[in-house]
Structure 1
Amino acid sequence: MADIVALVLPFFGLILIGYVVARLKQQPAEALGWLNVFIIYVALPALFFKLVSRTPIEDLAQIDFIAADLTGTYVIFVLAFLIGRYLRRNRFDECVIQGFAGAYGNIGYMGPGLALLALGEAAAVPVALVVCFENALHFMVAPAMMALAGDEKRPAGAVVVEVITKVATHPFIIATALGFLVAALKLEIPVAAARLIDYLAQAAAPCALFAMGVTLALRPLKRIPVEIGYLVPIKLVVHPLLMWVVLSLAGNFEPVWIKAAVLLAALPTATNVFVLGQHYGVWQERASATILITTVLSVFSVSALLIAMTSGALPTDLFP
């Protein structure tokens, strides 16, 4: 138990520090801009490149793992969407954002730091694969679904070009692709460059968690939406449990790969869900509330999951 507290307290403590500092200093939201640029375009890509480039290429070609992970995540998306559409009778575009609120975890900011701390370097590759492939698919699904909802007013060709451009130029995906190339060709990174990459990678988790705390402070909770009643359990409980079942059924993966995917599935709703809502002018306030509430509650749910994993109470593979 002490080990879990020692792991979780500093991790969520960084989020809390960012939150408290933002509340005390009262800086405008724009002040966070360059830190977010550093995290998204420099520090996290350096981390992904470092992790992937140092992994044997045969360990990277796990198509069945990627397919199973995406299946688990998008079953959750469909579940949250259908509840919103047919039980709550919400508009189609609102249900799309609800679907992402249930399925899009904070895997970019929180995932790498927590998984590597909890599971070690062996979790590096599954984390990188989950982050890159889930983000890529989210970038494709969001504009496609909003086009169906009628909120995307541009021609279909323009939407397709934008989606392809976003996927192809996203820094996480470029860094991971370069890491694949270095691993496949077994290239040696010059010592000076390797040290620079290491420094940048080490900054990724602390900066991302601090920025997340600041972001939460800048979006205070104004009201608790009704949707919280089902989105919170879907994101924090159903998603990781379903991921566990799907990966157990899909194949005999390394235990650390299953643990990494389940842990990432248990993370709270990503701040990008608010960005999506803001971009399309729908469900922004409720997305912000979902992010804040799932993040606060994830302190307890993620801690419980880590205790179950480390104590052996949760078998890694349901169908060995």
Structure 2
Amino acid sequence: MLLAMYSIFVFIFIGYMANVLRLVGNKHSGILLGFLVNFALPAQIFNGTYHANVSLDFLLVCLISLLSNLFAGLFILFIGRIFRFERSVLITLCFMAMLGNTLYLGFPFVQGALGEAQANQVIIFDQFVTGIPFAFLAPVLLSLNGKTAFSFSGVLKRLFKSPLFLALICGALFRLIPFEIPQALFAPLKSLAQTATPVALFAIGVQLNLRGILEWKYPTLLLGAKMFIAPLLLFFFVKAFFGEFSNTWKMALIEVAMPPLVSGVAIIYKAGFNAKVALNAVTFGILVSFISIPLWLYFV
């Protein structure tokens, strides 16, 4: 776990310093993100989906995790109504509280703490708990500010244009083939997939803005709901119904305790809501995760 945290920190730090020293511009960032979203992550998702063990029990884990995240959003909505938050701030906080950085940051955390088998499950977990909900929530958010009109057909088109979702579907379909694909054929795919984590962490580092940490009030509320209330709900559920944490439930706890989704900031900005609060929460959350995740694992 400590080695994984060290690697995560180093890659994020390199990205941050590359931005500070202006070694990477917007053009380079666009190329990196294009490679990540269209090639490296789809390869990782396809490989993980094909090799992961999926059962009804695992789908229950995804469902409880999703409900825990949704509860975090509802908790903030309740607090915001009581204290009469500005509409832009309240919508931003609720949206960001329901979506975690389950793939870019969660994957290396799980891989370091629990091993390769659980890391493969993260791939499917991410799509059910973050990817698909994001595809539904993003158009809803845009429609709230009159940017677009929400429609289910639009959401489906968005899903089936996403390389990440298509990689998930293809990986699931290949599992239905009545024979096992030779592992040697996965060698190039695995090599491509191995670049996803360092590139993703580097990209996070490039986008970090440490000056925003000083504006802590709204981000603290958001992170309290996302990184404490949501995983606490899942923690009590597992203790009440299962008694102890299996590795799959530990994986879910790590993922639910992840800071808000980086991609959420782009949607908040595009919708015209409070992108500054969202960005500050993402930055602050990444730093907090280096303390909070080991603490959660200590208690299970």
CA distance, structure 1, for counterparts of residue 148 and residue 261 of structure 2: 26
- Normalising by the residue count of structure 2, what TM-score does the alignment of the two structures yield? 0.89
Residue 181 of structure 1 corresponds to 173
Percentage of matched positions with identical amino acids: 24
Residue 162 of structure 1 corresponds to 154
Cα deviation, residue 192, structure 1: 6.0
CA distance, structure 2, for counterparts of residue 303 and residue 152 of structure 1: 42
CA contact (8 A) 1:69 1:130 kept: no
Residue 15 of structure 2 corresponds to 18
Distance 1:296 1:55, change over 3 A: closer
CA contact (8 A) 1:55 1:183 kept: no
Residue 213 of structure 1 corresponds to 205
Helix, strand or coil at the partner of 1:107: coil
Distance 1:145 1:285, change over 3 A: closer
| Pairwise CA RMSD | 2.6
CA distance, structure 1, for counterparts of residue 213 and residue 243 of structure 2: 46
CA distance, structure 2, for counterparts of residue 214 and residue 285 of structure 1: 16
Indicate which of 56, 60, 67 corresponds to 1:64.
60
Give a deviation string over 1:147-169, Cα, whole Å, max 9, x none: 3x3x135444xx33221111222
Residue 82 of structure 1 corresponds to 78
CA contact (8 A) 1:140 1:163 kept: yes
Cα deviation, residue 189, structure 1: 3.5
CA distance, structure 1, for counterparts of residue 118 and residue 163 of structure 2: 20
Gapped runs of 5+ residues in structure 1?
A: 315-320
Residue 31 of structure 1 corresponds to 28
Distance 1:200 1:188, change over 3 A: same
Find out whether 1:152 has 2:146 as its counterpart. yes
Residue 127 of structure 1 corresponds to 122
CA distance, structure 1, for counterparts of residue 56 and residue 11 of structure 2: 31
Helix, strand or coil at the partner of 2:273: coil
CA distance, structure 2, for counterparts of residue 194 and residue 253 of structure 1: 35
CA distance, structure 2, for counterparts of residue 222 and residue 42 of structure 1: 33
CA contact (8 A) 2:19 2:25 kept: no
Residue 257 of structure 2 corresponds to 266
CA contact (8 A) 1:236 1:267 kept: yes
CA contact (8 A) 2:142 2:148 kept: no
Residue 49 of structure 2 corresponds to 52
Q: Residue type of the partner of 1:160?
A: F
CA distance, structure 2, for counterparts of residue 171 and residue 17 of structure 1: 27
Cα deviation, residue 28, structure 1: 2.9
Residue 317 of structure 1 corresponds to none
Distance 1:198 1:254, change over 3 A: farther
CA distance, structure 2, for counterparts of residue 285 and residue 41 of structure 1: 27
Helix, strand or coil at the partner of 1:289: helix
Cα deviation, residue 82, structure 1: 2.6
Find out whether 1:203 has 2:184 as its counterpart. no
- Normalising by the residue count of structure 1, what TM-score does the alignment of the two structures yield? 0.84
CA distance, structure 1, for counterparts of residue 20 and residue 180 of structure 2: 45
Q: Residue type of the partner of 1:20?
A: M
CA distance, structure 2, for counterparts of residue 95 and residue 187 of structure 1: 51
Cα deviation, residue 210, structure 1: 0.9
CA distance, structure 1, for counterparts of residue 240 and residue 70 of structure 2: 16
Distance 1:160 1:240, change over 3 A: same
Distance 1:230 1:153, change over 3 A: closer
Give the total of aligned pairs. 299
Q: Which runs of 4+ in 1 moved over 6 A?
A: 250-254
Residue 107 of structure 1 corresponds to 102
Gapped runs of 5+ residues in structure 2?
A: none
CA distance, structure 2, for counterparts of residue 153 and residue 209 of structure 1: 30
Q: Residue type of the partner of 1:301?
A: S
